[in-house]
Amino acid sequence: MIDHTHDPAALSWVASANDPATDFPLQNLPFCRFRCAGTLEPWRVGVGIGDQILDLSAWGIDDLNALMARPSIERRALRHRLFDTLKAGAPEVPLVPQAQAEFTRPCRIGDYTDFYTGIHHARAVGRLFRPDNPLLPNYQWVPIGYHGRSSSIVVSGTPLRRPKGQVKPPDAEVPVFKPSARIDCELELGLFVGPGNALGEPFSIDEADEHAFGLTLLNDWSARDIQPWEYQPLGPFLAKNFGTTISPWIVTMEALAPFRIPFTRPAEDPQPLPYLDSPAHRANAAFDIALEVWLKTPAMAEPACISQSNLRHAYWSLAQMLTHHASNGCNLQPGDLLGTGTISGPAPEEAGSLLELTAGGKLPLTLPNGEQRTFLQDGDQLGLRAYAEKPGFRRIGFGACDGVILPAT
């Protein structure tokens, strides 16, 4: 579905959208919800263009979930209309500077499921928790996920309190309740569901794209000292649900069309079961999206990049996540959020969490100013960034996904 809206030569009458470094050129057009900062105005649906926002309230669009529920053909028609409105030579319309806006979650998030699609992360974490059995036998057969807490999903820039929880050191007879000392990040993308499916009615792998609306950056904060004591036998709980940060922007699947790549598995690995496989899926179901982790301590003037990875390393595709989630008849709804899980690459410097980067806290990171970190301290700011670029197309980005850790109450 590559069309004229992906033309790299197309320019906008919004000058900042033509900057090669912008996340939001004319070829992107991500959605958000915003209002003028310092006001109690109703939240409005907007589209990012350069450093500005096009307010869609005048277009009769005041509910992004309703837009997400529309068929993809209607969403593409809206993209074409937005493109034609903002391209060079079109009549100018009023815009709101992003610097004068505040943002909230881009839509109503009814349910949140976090998957575990990064096999390099799964192996690295497995070695720490289960040295003799790092990758559980079901991992290469079924997309693993857990049901998260949608109410604690916050937008970029929202501070998070250091959580308290039960911690049981290996040499202790009983656990203690105390603030977590091992706060970690997880480098993820989040997939927003578009049109849903009725309860009891799954869909095929080749129908999955119709149910995908767009992607956002996602940081699934984790308390690594609470996690190992509580996660067996039912999985993640308080170590995860104290906060999940997302970018305020949703980059649509239409904008990402040029950055699709073939989905492949190593020949020696189990191949997906038929309900998660098809020739069309193998042809273009993966995405080439660069991912970065940035850390800034209170003593640093500028943040430092501590990791770089890519969505191409995911073991399960976005379409497989959607298809498997609905395969038992589960009814997905517009605005539901599916996290990818931590997307780490094969090299040590491509790890998407501090747990991996520091070998479980044994090898501290040395930052440019000489400070060291194993896990996050109070006042540390952790940021995620992502962008897609390819010869012959404009680079597009995902905006900021930042959070700072505050002391425990």
Q: Is residue 121 among the annotated active site residues?
A: yes
3-state class percentages of the chain: helix first, strand second, coil last, to nearest 5: 20, 30, 50
Is 227 marked as a binding-site residue?
yes
Torsion sign (Cα): 32, 35, 36, 37: negative
Is 164 marked as a binding-site residue?
no
Round to whole Å and give the CA distance between 134 and 71: 42
Round to whole Å and give the CA distance between 307 and 301: 19
**Closest Cα to residue 380, out of 390, 369, 393?**
369
Is 390 marked as a binding-site residue?
no
Is 231 marked as a binding-site residue?
yes
Is 209 marked as a binding-site residue?
no
Is 358 marked as a binding-site residue?
no
Q: Concatenate the DSSP letters of all residues of 278-330 into one string.
A: -HHHHHH-EE--EEEEEEE-TT-SS-EEEEEEEGGGBSS-HHHHHHHHHTTS-
Round to whole Å and give the CA distance between 198 and 391: 40
Q: What is the H or E stretch that residue 365 is in?
A: strand 365-366
The CA distances from residue 301 to 19, 100, 184, 369, 383, in Å, are 25, 24, 22, 9, 15
Q: Let me know: does 277 contact 285? Beta carbons within 8 Å.
A: no
Q: Let me know: does 365 contact 297? Beta carbons within 8 Å.
A: no
Round to whole Å and give the CA distance between 351 and 172: 30
**Whether residue 233 has a cis bond before it, omega within 30° of 0:** yes
- Write down the catalytic residue from 121, 211, 324, 325: 121
Is 342 marked as a binding-site residue?
yes
The annotated binding site for Mg(2+) is made up of 220, 240, 244
Binding residues: 114, 116, 130, 186, 188, 220, 227, 231, 240, 244, 342
Q: Binding site membership for Ca(2+): which residues? A: 114, 186, 188, 220
Catalytic positions, please? 121
